[in-house]
Structures are given as C-alpha cells and as structure tokens.
Amino acid sequence: TRLEPFLRGFQECSFQIDVDEFVEQRAPAFAVACPDGSQPLAWTDFHREYRELFERQLDAILEDLDVEREEFLEWMRALKGNAECLESSAELPGSGGMVCSDFNEFMKALTASEDYERFLWVMFRAVAELRQKQTLEVQQQAEPTPPPEAAAPLTQEVEIAVPEGAGPGMVLPIDFLGNRYELVIPEGCFPGTTFRAAVLVAAPPQPPG
C-alpha cells in the first residue's frame, strides 16, 4: 500500500536502536514511588524528548520520500475521516489498498509517542525488565537458577516521603511502575520524614489504549 514506506521508516533497525537506547538510559529515573498520584516533573521532559525522537524520524522519512509534512498531515486527516465513515473491513479510498482496520492500527502506531500514558508504560516495562535481568545475573553468579515455579516474585525496596496531613497508622496510596499500592505509614513517621517498603517490580500488563 501507499502507507508501507512510512511504516517501514519507523521499523528501521537504526531507529529502533535509538529508541531502545533512549529508553534504557532514562529508565532508572522511573523507578521511584509516587505518593498520592504525583509524578516527577522530569518525566514530562523525558516524554517531550521521546516525542521529538519520533518527530525527527518522521521528518527524515518525509524527506527521503520527497513529501512535504503538511501534505502528509492533510493526507492522514483525509484518510482518518474516511475511515471513520466505513466498516473496519472496508478498503480505504486513497490508501492504495489498505483496509480501515489496518489504517487504524497504522495511526495508533504513528501517534503512539504522543500518548503520555503509553510512554509511561514503555518506561515502566523497561524498568521491570532491567531489574529482572540484573536479579537473574546475580542469581546465576551465586547459584544455579531455580525453576520458574520456585522463583519468588521480584520485589524492590522503595523510599516514600510522608506528605503533609499524613501520619502513623494512616494508609498512603503510592504508584510504582504504574501499579497502585496502599501502604500503612509506620509508627514514628510524620510529614517530612521517609520510610521504606518492599513493592513488586512489575510493569502494567497491557499498554493503555
């Protein structure tokens, strides 16, 4: 179809390596516990850099195909409008033979970097995979790897700051790698102090959307 060159451009090995390196380098910054739904401001900066990475690749694809950005965007808007009026199995006019359902998947892939929640899922998954890899390497150096059914769930100790208005015995909701935990604040911990707790190292099972 006419859209295949654009899809292949984002599947290029060199671009995928750039994305993987970006994620791996910044993943440690996402291994933090966030109380009461708050998130570090640095995460939004990383998301902006992530979007720019994809924007630069799109510009390179358009230049290689000798297509103007505005021309491409107008074409996408027209195809999207047509797809919304047709059955998912119908062929999409102007796409060169692509059916609507495939176009919708193409658009989802094309715009995935714009979705902040999906970006967080990518980073959380990278943290979990990195921690699991590090733990496995340590276990292999120390002793034979236990069978999967005998392996204990991977946990990590995190530090949580007690917020204003909270105190000992109260339940404090925190988010870690996209999962919500409700932790009881220990005795002797008051606003401004911190305590440590063990939580599971597991990314959300499915990406949003």
pLDDT digits (tens, 9 = 90+) for 36-69: 778 999 999 999 999 999 999 999 999 999 999 9
Domains of the chain: 4-121 (1.20.1520)
Q: Give the pLDDT of residue 178.
A: 86
Reply yes or no on whether the pLDDT at 114 is more than 90.
yes
Q: How confident is the model at residue 205 (pLDDT cuts 50, 70, 90)?
A: low
What's the predicted TM-score (pTM) here? 0.79
Q: Facing residues of 157 across strands? A: 198
Q: How confident is the model at residue 151 (pLDDT cuts 50, 70, 90)?
A: low
